[in-house]
Every structure is written in C-alpha cells, then in structure tokens.
Structure 1
Amino acid sequence: MDEALLNATEFLKRMEAPLMEYLRNTLEQRMAFKFNIDLFKEFIKIIDEDNESVVSIKSFNTKMHAILSANEIEPAFNNMTAQIVEKMEGFQEKDSGWALLRLTHCELNLNEFKPLRGTNFIPSPKYIAQKRACVNVRNKDIYCFKWSIISALYPVNTHLEKTSSYEIDDITDSVIVLKNGRIINFWGLDFPLKVKDISVFEELNPSISINLFGYDSEIKKIRLVREQQTSHCSKIFICNKCLQHFYSTEKLKSHENDCSKIVAKMVSPEKSTLEYRHFERQTDVPFVVYADFECLLQDIQSCQPDPASASTTTLQEHIPCAFAYYIKCCYDSNLINSLVSDLKWFYINHIQKPKSSNTLTLDEEKTQREATLCCIWYDCYLFVKELASIDGDISIIPINKELFMHSSLDALVNNLAHKDLKTVSGVYGDSEKLSLLTRKGVFPYEYINSWDRLNETSLPSREKFFNKMSNTECKEADYQHALNVWKQFNCGVMWDYLELYLKTDVLLLTDVFENFRNVCKNIYGLDPCQYYTTPGLSWDAML
C-alpha cells in the first residue's frame, strides 16, 4: 500500500500543488475568499472477541481562513496541514480503539468573502456629495486609500477629484514624497488595504491617525482613534452625528435628543469684524502670589469597582500639612519687605513660641461652647472690614501653571539660564547650595502619611520614594541628590526637608512663570496673569 495513504502530511503534500494553483486562480477571479480543508480517513475498530470489526469514515477539518492576497495562501495551507495532523494524533491517543486503514480523499471548501477594504473609485452617496465637504478622488487603480491620505495631506485649490492635481509620479511607490515636502510611508502594505492594516500604516507614520466611517442610509463610525477623543480610561460612547463622546449611555441618549436641533448661527454683518478691545490686559497685574501646598497622603479603603461601568476609584485622602507662598509686586518692593517683616514678627512671637494657656474651668468651657464670636480671630474681621472700605473692586485671578505650560517644573527650570533664576538666587545667594536647588527635588509623597513621620530624623530608603500615581520608582541619582540636600542644608527631621522642598518649589515656580511673563510682555505686550487659560491669551495675542 502507498505510504502516503497512511500519512496525512505526505498525503496533503501531494495535494499541495494542485490545491495552491486552484486557490490562486480563485483569488484572481474573486479578489477575496475563505477556505478550509476536510481530510477524510477510513478507520477500523474491533468490537468483540470473535474479531468482528466495524469500518467508519471520519473527517478532520480546519477553521475557515480569509485570503485577500496571493502571499497569504501558502502559509494558510501549511497551517491547516499542521492542524489536521494534530487533530488526528489527538484522536488516536484517546484510546478510542479506532485504527487507521487509509486516507480516502481531501475536500477543499470555499466560501464567498467580501471584506471591508479600500478598492478603486466608488462615487460618493448623493447625501454626502451634496454637502461638498468630502474629497473623493476618481482613481482607476486599487490605491484609493493612498489617494485619500494624499488628498488630506496635500490639499489643492481646484479639481480636487482628479489624480493629476496631486502631482504624484508613481502611486505604486512604497514611500511617496508630496510636493509640499510631506513623506508618507506605505512600506510592506498590501492593496487594496484591509481595515486591520490601518494600524500598521499608523505605526509607519506616527504623525498620522486615521478615523474610518461608513455610510448605509446614515453615517456610522467604524474605527475611531481613542486618543483623539479622550485620555479617560473607562468606556466611552460616541454620537454618530457629531462625534462627541460621553461616559454613559444615559448621557449619550440625552444628547441625541438635542443633537439634530443644533445649528450654526452666522454672525450679523455689524459684528463680523474682530477687534482687540482688552487694552487693560497690557498692564501688569500688580500682585501675583505663587503658592503651593504639601499634604499627608492617607490611603482610603474602598470596594472593588464594577468593570462593566464607568467608575472612579478614590485611592488617597490629601490632608494639607504645609503651605508656602511668594508675593511678586511689580511696583514697590518695600511693601513686600514690610509684609515679610510683619510675618516674621508674627511667626517668632505667636507661632514659634506660643504662649502657654491655663486649663479652662467648667464655666469657661461653657462660655466657649456658647460663644458666637471668636475673639482670637477678631483681627481677621477687622481686616476684611477695612478691605471693604476701599473704593473699586478687589479681584483675584486663580491660575494653574499647567494651563499655560504643560511641561514638568523640572523641565521648565532646566530651560532657564542661571541668570534667570533671580528669585531663588535672591533667597539663597550665589553659593554651592544654590546649585542643589536649581532642579526639581524628590519627595516621598506616599511615605508621608502621618504627622509622626515628619519627626523622623533621616530620609527613608529609596524604595519609599515610589510614586503610585505615575507608577515610577525613584532613580538612584535622584535619591543621592536628596541625601546631599539633606546633608548640605543640615536637615534634622523630615519636617525640615519638607519645608525646604516646598519653599524651593515655590521659588522655582516664581522664576519660571516670571520669565514666561517677561517673554509674553516683550513679544505680545500682554501679561499672562491677566488670563485664565492659554486660549484666551492666544486669542488676544492674535488680535
């Protein structure tokens, strides 16, 4: 008997050439299809002591596999051969009693497959074309995906639908250089392009991200790049009409009721001209207070969130333990010096050396509980009363550094020249100690979770500087820097280190933002402290 009739690998190897040729011909005719292989075998089984037997034909098949290009056929066939051999071996090892007589025949099964992918030109639906908002290049090849990318990155003024308008030498090139200098990498991609290969294109071109939509009586989202929508980690729900995103189906449904009613309103002719009117914002804000807090981070025990719904898990409670502030006056520094002098006197006489108080009697405790006016803070009442007597409004503009500068404080400080660190130098002088402070320090936020730890007489180990929020550990160089700062500034307890760390942060922040203010005032003639956010500043700078 021919050994190939007993060996599945040999049997399928003989069948490989005619099957592969048939599959290639099918691909040329259909452009895409799915196939699998059924291998039929004859088995025999002894059923009693008289050696009576029964013969049965059994089949071993594979899952359907989609084919879209010729180079996918051979790997798919080899993979199916391995699957069939593995199934046969598993069947015979189960002590079923069946013994192989011979391989009878092999069947090739084909299914129609119409994948969603780019192909040659298809006219835009009338509903889309009437909007005159989409470019649909009339290509006569299989590279419509390339033409769509090219038309987006190299916009032309006339005949947007013609391929000749984009001045492409050879659309089949793997790397295409546009006339405006943009380079598009299509290396290794097969065309017409499959939807699953769009992510490969994005990896080849990191500055490009693709959103894909389909149309079948209405516009439907097929593939959206999440990073363009939100940095939120929970599930999002997107409106098909306007592409706004929401974090629950209820909010999406509420929005959809009004979405179709939203229309753009054109401004009236008398209001169609933009003019700069905020001339007061060209003057300096007289007082700017740079401040920061430090907190004890106490862990919070909470239940496990439901992964099926959007939720926020509270990990820690922030309990303020220290604050520092620096007042920048753009007029007379003597006012600040006077304020600092008063604060020093108050600190020395009332905080550093608090007056001892006698234990209250029962009558005094009763009077204290029933009191409606706190005499200790009566000066605060007088202070507010005096402020109220001043003519004009007293306004405060709260500003977060991140609203204008998105880099870390450490990175921003490194961008400054030594001469720009005027505030830090004014406090610590131009000394060796100053060089230790002209960079962002490190602090064991997670470790400081109680007041007692602020009385410890040394820094904790490097492992205690691990940051849960960023999931990063303290580098050895940063830890050695912290040890050096502790030593050079004669820190006795953790409270000393916290005070120095907080004070330095505020002084560095002052220098960074004051430098930013100077740049904006020199270039745009505007003080950033007159604005809440970057868009407001940018808008007035444009005008």
Structure 2
Amino acid sequence: MAYILDNVNTTLEMIAHFYKNYNLGSASKVPKFINIIDANLRQIQSSLAEPLTVGDKRHLAAVAGKMERYKVLINQLGKSIAGSSLGRRPLVEWRDLATAFKSRVSTGIIINLGHKTLGSFFNDSCKLFITKIRDIYPKYNSPLKTNFEFCAEFVKPSLNKNDEALACREFSFLTKNFTILSSDLSEANLKQLFNNNAVDYLMERLMQFEEQDSGWGLSKIISLTLNVNSVTLMHASSFIELPKEIQVKKAVINVKNNDEACFGWALSSALFPATLNTNRISSYPYYAQILNFDGISFPMSLDQLQKFLKQNPNLSINIYGLTRKTQSDYVTVPIYLNTEKKANHVNLLMIQQNYEIEKDIENNATAHNSEEPDEAVRFHFCWIKDLSRLVRSQLTKGHGKLYICDRCLHYFSSPDKLNAHELDCKLVNKCKINMPEPGSHVYFKNHEFKQTAPFIIYCDLECLVQDFQDDETQNTVKYKQHNVCSIAYYLHCTFDNSLSRFRLQRGEQCINWFTSELEEISNNLQQYFINPVQMEPLNDLQMLGYNASTYCHICEGPILPPQVKVRDHCHFTGRFRGSAHQACNLRYKAPHMIPIFFHNFSGYDSHFIIKDIAQAIPGRVTLLPKNKERYISFTKKMENADVEFRFVDSYRFMSESLDNLASYLKFDDFKILRSTLSHLNDEQLKLLTKKGVYPYEYMDSWEKFNETNLPEKIQFYSKLRQSHISDQEYSHARNVWRKFDTQNLGQYSDLYLMSDVLILADVFTNFREKCITTHKLDPAFFFTAPGYTWQCMLNYTKVKLELLTDVDMMLFVEKGIRGGITQCCTKYSKANNKYLNGKNYDPTKPPTHIMYMDMVNLYGWAQSQCLPLNNFKWLSEAKLKSLTPEAILNTPDDAVEGLILEVDLLYPRQLHDQHKSIPFCVEHDTPPGAKNKKLLATLHSKTRYVIHYRNLKQCLQAGLILERVHRAINFKQSCWLKPYIDLNARLRAQATNAFEKNLYKLLNNANFGKTMENVRNHRIIKLVTRWSGRYGANYYISQPNFHSREIFDDELLAIELSKTEILFNKPLYVGMAILEISKTRMYDFHYNFMQHQFSDDRLKLLYMDTDSLVYEMVCDDAYELIRANISRFDTSDYPENNIYNIPRCNGKVLGMMKDELGGRIITDWVALASKMYSYKTMDSDNDVMKLKGIRDYIVKNRLTFDDYLECLRSGITKSVAQS
C-alpha cells in the first residue's frame, strides 16, 4: 500500500466543522481554508505523477475530490455573504491519473464535487467523457478500447426499519470494455456509448451489489475512472485466408469480401447458404436487406454485438477464435457465447492474419522494449458451417457421429445426452473446457522437493512516510507518501555458511542497489547449480548399506530388475544420500531457483520493487497473480545467468505478525541472528530477538535520520492502527537505543531493519526445519501453505486421486458445492441465571443461559471421514430405481462405495416449525424481490438438488421425503486423508510451544483450502514493458479476450486476459464432499442432541456460523448439560477446579463441541445480520464485536456493544469511516 491517508480524516473533519458552523464572523477565514485546500490539491496532483500503483492513485484522487467539494461549498458561502452572484460551479472535475507508452494508454478520473444522485453525476460525467474522448482520439487516429471504474462510499446498515449505518467503506465497480471508432465521435453517438456502457451497466451492478449479503448501501459518489487504450484494435474487415489446416476440414465458409463488412456477409452466408461458389459475395443476399444493421459501424467490433442482437431478436450468435498450439495445430476456442439459442442461430469464426504459437506467448510473460514496428491486428469473420467437423480432431480420433456442445466444446454420443448436459453447462461455462486424459490421477511426484533448497534470501524494506510541503503557503498536505529509504537482505546458504551474508543499504537509490545485488548473487551462485560437486567415496558402512538396499530413497519404491540401481549424492556437498532408481536420480535435481521471502510481500513490499525488477534487470518476469495489483508471487528469470529469483510472501505460510512469530521462539532458536551478530553480547542479542517498534509516521524526511535522540513515545502513534505503543514497548526502544550506543535515528532505523530481516530468517528457518523433520518436504520450494500441505499430504498418504474426465461429472460436482451456513436467527437475548452477579440475576424470572458453542476443527473432522477416491461412474436407470429411501438409509457412512445424487425432495409442512431455525439442504437461490442468488436455508422443497448421500440420509431421518432420483454418481471411497489429518493433530497435541501448535493446525486447515481450488478463478496477467511488436501492450490489448490493465509507470503495464479455455485438473469432488459432510456434524448436534435435551419453548438458536452455534437455553444450569454428556464436548479450555465441576477432557479432539468462552458467562447478545454481532461477558469491560468487512482495530477502538444495541432498538445512526 503506497499511501496511508492517515491525516486526511482530520483535515476533512476540520474543514467540515468550519463549513457546518460557518457564520458572518467566519468570512475572514475563508481565504485561509481555500489556501490549505489548494496546497493539498497541488501536491496531490504532483504526487499522482509519481510511480505509484493505480489503486493508490485512485485513492488519492478520491481524497482530492472530497477536498474539491469543500472548496466549492466554502467559496460559495463566502460569496453569498459578500453579496456576490454565486453562479453555477462545476460539480464534476477531470484529473489525469496515469499514462503509459506516450499516452497511448491513459487513465483519467472524473471526480464528484457535489452531486448527490447518480443520475445527475452520470449526466455531468457524460459531458466530460465526450470532451476527453474527442481530445484523445485525434492524437493517434486509431480506435479506442475503453472502460470505466465507478468508485463510491457505501455504508453498512443494520437490519432495522431506520436502516442506520455502522461503518463506511469505498468500493469500486469495473465495466466491460467497449470500442470507440471514428464514426462514433459525434456527440449523440458518444452519449449513447456512455449510457450503454457506463450508466446502464453500473446501475445494474450497483443494484446487484446492494442485494448481496454484503449489507452495504450507497452513501456517497466519489468518482468515475476512465481507462482509454488507443490501439490498432482488433476489428473484422476485409478478406483473410483461412489457415490451411482449417481449410482442409471443409467446415468453414469464408466469403471473399472486398469491403469492411465481413461480419454481415458471414451472417448472410449462414442464413442463406449457397450450394455453389460459396466464397463469392454474389451467391448471397445483401446483408443489410435481411438484417437490421442500424447504427452498427463497420468494421464490426465485438462490443457492438449486443446492440446488433437486440435489433435482431430472432437471431443468436456464438463467436469462436483460434489458438495456435504448435506450428500446424490450431484449436478452436469460444470468444463470445450467447445465453440463449434463438430460431436462427449462427456460429461464426473470427480469424486473424497471423497467429503466434501459444507456448511462445507464455514464455514471453514479460514483453521488453524492442524496435519491432507497430502492426495492426486484422480480424475477419467466417461462418462455421459444421462445428463438429471443425473441432473433431481436437476432441477425438474416432469417426462416429458427434453431438457437440457449442459452449464448452465437448462431444456426446446422442442428442439426449447433449440436451441434458446443456442444462448445466449454460449456467457456468463461458470458455472451452478441457478435461484430463482417461486414467489421469493426482499423486505425489515432485520428489525434488524432498531436498533442502540450497539458497534462500530473506528481505525487508523501510519507507519514509513523507509529508509534502507547499512552497507557496507552507501548508502541510494531509496525506502520506511511502518512499523506500532502506532495504536489507540475508542470503542463507544451507550447505556452506561462509556463503551466507547480510547486507543493508539506506539511501534514495537503495532499490537500484538491491537489483544490482541480485545480479551479482545470480552470477556468483549459478556455478553451484551448473557445476555439481563429485560424490565423496563411500565408507564401508555406506557401501554395505548400498549393496543391501532394495528400495529407492527418492520415490520410496522397490528397485526391481531390470531397473538400474545407482548411488545418489548431494550436488552441493558431494555427500552420499542413498540408493536410487537411475530415472529418479536423473530427475532429483534442485531447481535453479532462489526464493526471496518478504513478510507481507503481497500486500505491501511488492509494489516497491516489481517495476525495478521487471525493467532494470534483463530477463522475463512471470506472475502468480491474485489480481492485477496484488501478486501471490512473481519470478524473475535472469537473462545472464542460469538462475531465477522467486519473490514469495512468508505471510502466506505463517499468517501472523512478525512480532507474534518471534515471540514463539526461544533465545536458542535465533541461530541466524546470533551467528550473524556474533560480536554482540547476549544482552544485546536478546533485545534484538524481540521485534522492535519504529516511528513510521514520524520518519517523514531524510533529515530525521540525523536526529540524535529517540523520539518521544507520542511520536510512535500509528494513525493507521489508531493506537499508541505501550509503555513496555517504548521502554524496550529506549533500552535498544542505550545498549547499542545509538548515535542517531539512521542507526536506529538500520538496527530495526536488520533485526526484522534476521528475525524473519530465523522464524522461517524454524518453520522450514519443523516442516522438513515432520513432513519431509521443504516449504522454500512452494508459494503458499495450501500448496505446501497438499503436496505433503500426497507424499504422506501415497494416495492416487482419480481425475474426472467426464465434463458432466465435473459440472455435477460443481452444482453440489455450497459453502458454510451463516444465519442470524434471533436478534437479541439477555441471560438470567445463578452464575451472574447478584444485580444481573432475577430469580423471579425464568433462568436463561446464552451459550456460544464451537465445533473443534470441523473441517479437520470432515477430512477424516470417508471421501471419494476413484472409480467414478454414472448409475444406470435400473440402479437409480433401486435407490429407495430404505436403500439409502441402510448405506453405511463408511461404505466401500459412496454416492453423490441429484434428487427431488419434499419438505413436509409439519416439519416447518421444528426446522425453522436451520432448515436442511441449503441452496443458492434468488430471494423474493432480488436479482442475485444467495446461499439460503429455506423450508422449500428441492428440485434437482445435488447432495452427498450422507446428507441425504440425514434429511430422510429428519422426515424429508425423497420423491425422485434424477442422476447419481457412485465411487470408491475410503478414509484416505485421515492419516494425514491425524498426523498433524498428533503433532499439535505433542507441541510444546504456540509456534508448533499453530503450524500443525495451519497444515490441516490449509489442506482443506487446496481441495476447494477452482481453476475457473485462475487469472492470466502479463507484464509488458513495450508497446509494439510481438507480446507488446498493443498485441495483448488488441486480443478479443483482453479484460483490463493497470499502469505501473510510463513503460510498465499489467494486463489481464480472460481465459478462453481451462483444464479441470483438480479433484474438486474432495472439497465438495468435505463441505457437505461437515454440515452433517452441525445438523446432528442441533437436531439429534440439543433438540432432544429441550422442549421447543426452552431452546432458541440465536446464531449460526459454519462451525458455531449460539443458543439461548431456558434451564437451571446449562453446564449440567455438558457434565452429563461429557463425551460430546472438548472441555480442555475450562480452568482447573472450575466452578461448574466440569472435568477437563477431549482436548482438541476433532468434531467435539466446546464452549467457545471456556466457562466465561455471556450476559447479553445482539446480532444485526450474518457476521455482524456483539456480546458482553460477566466481569469484563471488553465487549466482543464482529463486523465483516471492517478492519479489526476500527471495530475494537470505535464500536461498542451499546452501538449494536442502539442500531437494533433506537434507530440511532452509527457511522465509522474506513479508508
């Protein structure tokens, strides 16, 4: 995050206070406030030219918009009192935000200065849009690919009649791209484009957003960002020959037009097919006489397609393109798919004049500057006469009749099967679906990760949080800019400590220094990768072991004739490692990769270095993106050395603050810090093993580094966190200053940065060592904890998970994926029982307890159950008929074969009162009056509901009626994952410190996350550093699957492309089964235990959240329930000799229910909505408050239980700003 707008709220509050309390006596202060605002605006504008992320620039521009609004209002007040004519001041303003490649790519922002309604804001924005487009277009005289991003402030309302707000936050909404051609430059045409692509689209999105579970409502309009790309844009025009490989299929009619209307001629050829001379225009009627082309510009662009189809309501069109896999292999992929087939349906092929081989594009993930000329990308439309013939060779080698799904491009053997498939496919698929080859499995095969990574770099940086000073008025701008002032790294070598080293650089060129260091490191270390050390001679004991060995130490499989047994050794030390298959030995090489770990790299540090890494060092960059601005990782392949650097976020392995992680280690565990700083005494070293404190906001200039005294405690205040450091933390800082004889803040900063880097090195090294010892794989080879634990699981269990190869099975499983249930059932409850303080207990009223129950590691329990493994088959009609309720009820939970079914279920009315708190069978459905689907728990009957058989058994036992089984898959199942879950549970129970306990809990939880990995969500991001030529910005932006882009600086873009095809190579059925089975545990506890303990009027469910249940119980002693049923509960969190006489047992046993508060008494409960609740506890002044979407420190510091209660009862508004 390049900017922290920590002072903005204070400034705006001051200005707002002046405006709201303005009177005649305030007129003299108007110039002062106008000067302050002007100074801020000038410096913000100056900062917008700096190399910042677009998100940061957008945030700054929004701040400027708020200041502009106050400037207008205060100016008008001053003129009104002075008797001046106010006139009409502009209520919107344009600001340039960022440009790249000589302004061919530009982003500007329309800032709202006073509009209260969307209609008036969009009306004024349209006028600015028209002006700017007419100004931009002539500069390059080429089409503009354009989209918008709308930004507004939303409030979080409570669910009462007054709809009062609990919090404020900004959200952005991105529109789709559309094309502006020279024929669109009239005012009427541009206005129409604006209305179609901004107003209509955004109004729909906003309506959908406010309907969703987010609970946010529009409060204030901030801005509308305009992204403009002036490119030699793809459009369809004059004739282009089909590739020869496509021509020979005789599946496509390519009309040889000599105008720019190939789209029209292709449609004419499809609607009025010719038998002779099929490539001649004369064979077809004139396209404009058979179809409505009013207002459609030629050459045709895809963004005009929706308008064209509206004008021709009986026509539907799918558009396909080609990707080139090899020199002679072209694959057809969807570009545009219609949602509904009309009476006249046409499939078109959009070809281009040349194709790059896909692998070449992937290998050039970063396009660098070159002198290649800028070339227009020309496209051409043809009619696909026979889609089956066009795609057959990419689907099968068979010669039988195929029925092709024109969405996912899979084939079926009969029209009935195709029709059944299309019911699901049209709901989710927008691109070509690739399935694995039959017989494909997921299993452990990355044996090279059993080695220890030879080199690893730990890194951190510090920034100056600088104020800007205006020369004209000397008024301080009320925001902060982060500029890197120092960077440090520790290079850790695992086989030769003499190669390890620590380096630090402070100064304005520290990032350049760091890139130079990386080049030096790559040049120095590549020799260790490419020149392996010869094996040391084996001693007698080693030779004896080698001769006797019959197993490969790498794959752990037997070495059987005719397999060749060889000696494996470490290429860095020469040490003998064991016997191995010759094939395994050849593959058992350490990747030429050096990981560089930053803590919180994805969220902060990556912004400061990616530009320099991409541009300053020769070699390509590949991204593992979360989105265009946040990266899980990126890798730099060094051009001049056989080494690549992988930048990784250690927070994605250990998701806690470095301070917390350091606190888990003992002094002896800080081996790297102690060896690197061996010249220090133990007292000094111990000071450095505790993460220090740093006055981030105080360090706002280079001159501060020369100050010779530690700043006062108040200077360590964090406006971002809205908190001071503690007296203990400040005492630690003073102690560090004194014990290290610190001469100035520069030395203190260096010491702080050095300790951070070395602490990170020790923390992650301890993490690595524990993981390698217990799980045999090195985390340094991985990107995230989920990826690491998944491979550990595969290695430990030796499981082989079959991959689904039937596309309908995959769609079937996807339909069954539903997340955890979150439901607010009762808004308020107050406890009244004998354990409360005297004043809070009224013995004349019924005794009432509020109990917050939490299931111990619910997903860990579900992962320990029988899960799908292999042998997936559709059941025949005969077997479907045999699936009677009795047969399903008699199927054991641990049966050899399991089932996933698609059923119709009747929910009898007599069950409604009993089941109204949490009905069975949650489903994604659209609530009344809404347009968007949500996960709902309803008492409705279910139709074609996909369900795991264990959930269906539970439903039938609870009284639901099975009416029909439409389809079902059976499969082999076993508890194949249980050994790994038990391993981590056992290691956690044996752990002697918090670090290890958290580690093994993380490995189980993260493993579940990996089972839910959905390839549909993977992103394609390209970094480009040039405009023209192959793989430049123009090439990618011109592609039909261009999605969006972000500007880093004048010569660096991140471009996102939509996927045109995906490969389903993940066992998603595992995640689906875990989610479904986990629900059975929660329903079982509620219906088969709690409801059996209480009558309906004495038990009330207040709230449910996936693995938690909050109850109101009317009884003398709720803890007696736990004592009497101790086998169901984990009571290990209760104190010894607790007042409830509950024994401590079942500690951390998976699937046990526990008292979340460990015996503390809840006195009051209030819940406004899901993820929005608060409660009070006896003998504590600290209210517990939860508010999804709001930062924890804001909730903790600025909200109370009473705020929630007021919003529920009194209609009092409570707003909390969140930047």
Provide the TM-score with structure 2 as the length reference. 0.20
Higher relative contact order (CA 8 A, sep 6+): 2
Provide the TM-score with structure 1 as the length reference. 0.42
Structure (1 or 2) with the greater strand fraction: 2
